[in-house]
Amino acid sequence: TDASVSGNRNFAGSGTADQANALSGEVSVTVAAVYPNGTMLVQGQKRVTLNRGDEFVQIKGIIRVSDIDANNRVPSTRVADARIAYTGKGDVARASRQGWLSRFFSVISPF
C-alpha cells in the first residue's frame, strides 16, 4: 500500500493601526510607599461629574523627589511605570461602548 500526504498553506496579510490620545489636566496624588532608594509610589484619582455621567482619571506610578517642582507638581512624563486610566460612567460612556450584537459578530468573524 502506498500512502502519501501533501499539503500547502499560504497566507498573505497586512494591517495598520493608528491611535492618538491627549489628556490634559491635574490630578492630586498621595504617597502610597517610599522605597529604600528614595523613590515613591504615588496614586490618585479625580472624579468629574458632568450632566450626563461621571468621568474618572486615575494615575499610579513611581516618582523621584528631584522631579517634584517648586509648586509641588510632577509632569506625567517624569512618572515611571505610569498607569493612567480615563474611564466614565453614565449616558455618554454607555453610548460609546460597542453593542452586544456587534461584539458577538466581532468574536465569530473578527475581520
CA distance 21 to 47: 19
Is the full-model pTM beyond 0.75? no
Torsion of CA 63, 64, 66, 70, to 10 degrees: 30
Q: Residue 83 pLDDT > 90, yes or no?
A: yes
Q: What's the total number of domains in the chain?
A: 1
pLDDT of residue 11: 61
Residue 38 backbone class (left: φ over 0; alpha: ψ -120 to 50; beta: rest): left
| 15 part of a folded domain | no
104 phi, psi to nearest 5 deg: -60, -50
Range of the domain at 36: 30-108
Q: Which residue has the higher pLDDT, 54 or 91?
A: 54
| 8 part of a folded domain | no
pLDDT of residue 63: 96
